[in-house]
Amino acid sequence: RSENAISRFVNHGFPEKFVQDLMQRSETKPILHINGLHFLPYNQFDFMTLCDDIALKNTDSLALHSYVSKATVKNDSITCVEAMIYHQPTKIYPKVVIDTSGEAILSTLIGSDAIKSDKYQASAHVFMLVGFSNDDETVLSLSLIRSIKFGIKDGALDPDYERISIVPGSVS
């Protein structure tokens, strides 16, 4: 956050290079929003392919866009992970397992306790809205908030969605 009109990197090295690559792929630039918040709108596909490219460059063996279905534990260690990789059932016998699902999928599969907290940072859901005739970001934001409130009232959405913050992207 900074009231300066020019966005500056707080962290250099990998974060700065990643953002510069993402800006180039998405053809976007940082935006100064309210309360000094600077953010970068980007294309989700560009973000995913950039992450894939970086991951593939830095590993010998990687299965992208895979789905874990089962894990076997022996002597308090995960000895086998079963997954669908490119629509093929696969068994992996790992030395180390790191669950980056964001949903503790492996902990759930093996019945392990997850660390609980009374305070969590809300996750971000990045999405694009297309096909609107109105290009006024304020009107679009208010319409989205109204629709979410109706969804909560009707029981279609979790009440936690009430805490939404909408950060505009680029309207084109």
Collapsing DSSP to helix, strand or coil, 85 comes out as strand
User: Which has more confidence, 133 or 35?
Assistant: 35
Q: How many residues does the chain have?
A: 172
| pLDDT confidence bin for 127, thresholds 50/70/90 | low
H or E element that contains 24:
helix 14-26
Residue 106 · residue 114 · CB < 8 Å: no
Nearest alpha-carbon partner for 68 in 96, 108, 95: 108
Report residue 31 as tokens. 């935006």
Nearest alpha-carbon partner for 83 in 72, 75, 73: 72
Residue with the two structure tokens 């460059």: 57
Average pLDDT over residues 88-95: 91
Residue with the two structure tokens 């109706």: 150
Residue 71 · residue 82 · CB < 8 Å: yes
Q: What is the pTM of this model?
A: 0.58
Alpha-carbon distance 168 to 130, whole Å? 13
pLDDT at residue 129, rounded to an integer: 66
| pLDDT confidence bin for 90, thresholds 50/70/90 | very high
What per-residue string of b and e applies to 85-101 under the rule 16 or more CB within 10 Å gives b? eeeeeeebeeeeeebee
